[in-house]
A and B are shown apart, each in its own frame.
Chain A
Amino acid sequence: MDGDRASVLGSRVLRMEDHRLLTAGGTYVADLRVPELAGAAQVTFVRSPIAHALITGIDASVALGEPGVVAVLTGRDLGDLNGQAGQPMPEPLLATGRVRFVGEPVAMVITDGRYQGEDAAELVSVDYEPLAAVVGFGAALADETLLFPDTGSNVVATGGDEQGAGDAMFDGCDVVLGATFPNQRVAPVPLEVRGAAAAWADGRLTVWASTQNAQIARATISGRLAMDQAAVRVITPDVGGGFGAKIGTDRDAIAVAWAATRVGRPVCWSETRGENLVAMTHGRSQRQTVRIGGTRDGRILAYRLDFVQDLGAYPRGAYLASLTRLMTSGAYEIPRVRCGYQVVVTNTTPVDAYRGAGRPEATAAIERAVDMFAAEIGMDPAEVRRLNVVPPGSFPYTSPTGAVYDTGDYAAALDKVLAAAGYRDLRAEQARRRERGDTMQLGIGLSVYVEVTAGDHASGETGKVEVHEDGTVTVSTGSSPHGQGHATSWAMLVQEELGIPMADVTVVHGDTDVIPRGTGTYGSRSLQLGGAAVQKAAAAVREQARGLAAELAGATEAEMELDPRLGIWRVRGESGTELEWGKVAGQAGIEGLVADVLFVAKSPTFPFGAHVAVVEVDTETGKASLVRHVTVDDAGTLLNPLLAEGQRHGGIAQGAAQALVEEVLYDPDGNPLTATLADYATITATELPSFELVASQTPTAVNPLGAKGIGEAGTIGSTPAVQSAVIDAVAHLGVRHIDMPTTPQRVWAAISAAAISAARGGQ
């Protein structure tokens, strides 16, 4: 850009989105009062109450006689559209023949009113012939009961290194340790549940969906309903959180869209939280076996991870295992690394992306293994990490599983976080409490992590910038905000490039008629791809404008300059030649002053960081309280630190939640035990401290902004640090491991077991 001025980039700019959200509230799917949805009927799903059963009959006759009932639709009504013909494990829109998890949609009741729908859905009589349920890793692998008998196995896929392969990899290690533990199933719990609305008119289907990507949703809906993409318009209103679980669109929303084509009026659907907790996808759900070996002086020589990924009833998230494998060795340079996995189906809610999607699992596994190794050789876990992290001079670093870490300084991140936490003082305080035998013991947990963002960099992202004749700007983005603050960030980029104030920049997204090409928001991709596209489009607009301004001024392009503070063009050094943006835009005529860019990055980026968690554990009750959480989360160059910190805060909380309290549970018959927010322990304000964030910016060269993703890093770093802190608090009592979540019961049981073991050992 011409001239000097204070850059807005890197500033703590308040959000442009907030005034509306704070005074009128957002417009989420359930809030839509648009004319196209006038007189819309309500959709209520009839869902399976049994984990595994044959459907032997559906009788809707009683329900159809109830007040306000418009229709009851089943898989039979969908005909050929229902199935996924040719797929080995097809997932129908509405279950026919067999149900595979509690919550699976079986029928749709369409009513005038919401309450009528709940009444009538209870009167749809479905006959089930129960089958044995496959619940848990062991039952899945045993293959005694099959979810899809034609396939011959519950194993969807295997990958990586075979079991037993490379046993010699631990030769030469002074110490070899192993353990098996779960990375438990958790629920995403966006505060807005799933919802969709649809209208069918003149051969076109318009779908309003709570999704992270309108364009992907359109492809899925048109594909499943055998329609031309051009016949489907998807609109994304405000979205109340996604966390990966609203990528694309679920079968429920596709069925709702289809219903609009059947009942002669628009339809609306908002699920209940009870439905959300059993029918929105869950996250994590791995059983991990780690083996780690090294020298007594702290060098890790070999690490192996074998895991089973439970995908629930349908293999939507089959890619998750490969992401875990990719990040096997984490932030460490380990000479010999192997990873193998099996992916299975079970009679539980399907598992798919949830904040981190495969990377938190990998990080939790290796961080736990490193802590076990440190404990075994009697070395401080910080020192073991410092000895083994990838050294700063090694970037780009190709990991044994083929990930190419772009930039980083992991030892520096560790040193910064240790200094900020006052690590030495914390250890001294811990020693005092141990010596005194305090009831309230202190635990300190560490993690050093690296993760991958914009893994699908090749899909890129679109950004279109148009300057209007009144001097205002419209940015159309293929990215899809649901809390991240794109309207603010993209306006900052435009102000930077064009000198047009943020207040004059409107950002639009999530309408496939307006923005036909786009990929959306997931995998911490938005700024580095979508933001880069906006920046490039704005720069292209500036260069177009230079030519137009030159025409207007009767000068050459080289003579034109843009005053970035005033947003005004002029001939360099000649006063009285000032041209406002609106005038320049007018010169563009019918073609407009506009640039539409698809930005594709050449590779993913690898954010990294280090966390210190401090917990207090009441050794009499087992209750663990997180009292401090200090982090370095380096995501390259920051556009708006205020927003980046917000992403870190939310991420840390969700990661800590997995370590401390959250877990989706089933009984042996596949009945969900955590199907309400009264049962699922969603983390609250009382269970968290304020977080202590340490700044660190190591740019990447992968995109022009120097930015990496920040949406998931907090989650990836915090889970292992918090779990480790809880274990550390009671390590002196003989405890070496506690599964997540580290509930009071688990902690208390671990202390008791260690005491019994010590007593026996002493006899």
Chain B
Amino acid sequence: MKVEITVNGGQLATDVEDRMLLVHYVRDVAGLTATNVGCDTSSCGACTVLLDGESVKSCTLLAVQADGHDVTTVEGLASADGQLHPVQQAFREQHGLQCGFCTPGMVMAIVSLLRENPHPTEEQVRSGLEGNLCRCTGYHNIVRAALAAAGPAHPRGQDEDRPGGGVAP
């Protein structure tokens, strides 16, 4: 079946197998491999992308369901001049990633979360990330990154017990 999907601003028209998952379309047809597959039950969130600006797990949609729609992956997040999106920047500054496998999905989930709720509490961030698994960070610095990207308006402020993120090398 022929589909026309806009991925990171570029329109692509291709014939795809009816049963092709959107995540495989993004990785194998569009050639954007940052979006990962981490499970087969829509549990881990590694495949999270934005569909028309809202986060979806791209293993849960068929490519044909995205026909005529707009997909954004982490490759499409930084601005054209290479400036990182505030969420990407916060991940770096707060050491929000280790092995990097869950990261593209986490970043997209947080971008979507902050669009819906620009100044979430820590609890709201944690609740919003329930569908995204990370095995390296214990979520601590991912949550900090989300709060840092949201800016200072969240009510609980920074942690008191330790200094914030690091310094650039």
Contacts and interface: CB of A to CB of B under 8 A. Distances in A.
Contact of B38 (A193, A483, A503): A193
B138 interface: yes
A650 B138 contact: yes
Interface string A132-158: 000000000000000000000000000
Interface residues of A, number: 74
Given A15-B92, A642-B166, A678-B43, A25 B33 contact: yes
Nearest to B21: A115
B100 A676 contact: no
B140 A649 contact: yes
A395 B33 CA distance: 51
Interface in A626-664: 640, 642-643, 645-646, 649-654
Given A23-B84, A23-B88, A115-B19, A688 B39 contact: no
Contact of B167 (A11, A18, A28, A695): A11
Contacts of A313: none
Interface residues of B, number: 65
A213 B84 CA distance: 33
A26 interface: yes
A569 B10 CA distance: 51
Contact of B98 (A31, A188, A503, A646): A646
Residue from A27, A30, A241, A492 whose CB has the most chain B CB atoms within 10 Å: A241
A28 B19 CA distance: 25
Contact of B135 (A12, A26, A243): A243
Interface of B: 17, 19-20, 24, 27, 31, 33-41, 43-44, 46, 74-75, 77-78, 84, 88, 91-93, 95, 97-104, 107, 122, 125-127, 129-130, 132-144, 159, 161-163, 165-169
A179 interface: no
A14 B91 contact: no
A192 B107 contact: no
Report, nearest first, the 8 A-B pairs whose CB atoms are least far apart.
A25-B34, A653-B138, A240-B101, A483-B99, A483-B98, A677-B43, A21-B100, A12-B166
Nearest to B99: A483
Given A688-B140, A714-B138, 17 more contacts: A22-B74, A22-B91, A23-B84, A33-B31, A189-B135, A191-B36, A240-B101, A485-B98, A650-B135, A650-B136, A653-B137, A653-B140, A682-B133, A684-B129, A685-B127, A685-B130, A695-B162
A491 B168 CA distance: 13
A22 B103 contact: yes
B40 A645 contact: no
Nearest to A505: B169
15 contacts: A18-B92, A192-B101, A240-B100, A241-B101, A243-B135, A485-B98, A645-B95, A646-B136, A651-B138, A654-B138, A677-B39, A678-B41, A684-B130, A686-B126, A686-B129
A191 B101 contact: yes
Interface in A223-253: 238-241, 243
Contacts of B35: 25
Contacts of A17: 100
A649 B141 contact: yes
A13 interface: yes
A690 interface: yes
A272 interface: yes
B165 A14 contact: yes
Given A22-B103, A676-B43, A693-B162, A14 B168 contact: yes
Interface in A25-40: 25-28, 30-31, 33
A238 B34 CA distance: 12
A580 interface: no
Given A22-B74, A22-B91, A503-B169, A483 B100 contact: yes
A374 to B, nearest CB: 27
Contacts of B34: 23-26
A350 B142 CA distance: 32
B10 to A, nearest CB: 16
A114 B144 CA distance: 38
Overall SS of chain B's interface: loop
Given A682-B133, A685-B126, A191 B38 contact: yes
Nearest to B163: A12
A274 interface: yes
A583 interface: no
B40 A28 contact: no
A744 B88 CA distance: 37
A643 B165 CA distance: 10
A523 B96 CA distance: 23
Contact of B40 (A13, A274, A483, A491): A274
A240 B99 contact: yes
Contacts of A423: none
Nearest to A643: B95
Contact of B137 (A193, A649, A682, A684): A649
Nearest to B19: A115
Contacts of A714: 138
Interface in A104-121: 114-115
Q: Which of B35, B37, B138 has the most CB of A within 10 A?
A: B138
B148 to A, nearest CB: 13
B121 to A, nearest CB: 12
Contacts of A640: 166
Given A238-B100, A646-B95, A30 B37 contact: yes
Contacts of A491: 169
A677 B133 contact: yes
Contacts of B136: 191, 241, 483, 646, 650
A273 interface: yes
A760 interface: no
Contacts of B36: 25, 28, 30, 191-192, 240
Contacts of B44: 191, 273, 677, 682
B25 to A, nearest CB: 13
A9 to B, nearest CB: 13
A14 B169 contact: yes
A517 interface: no
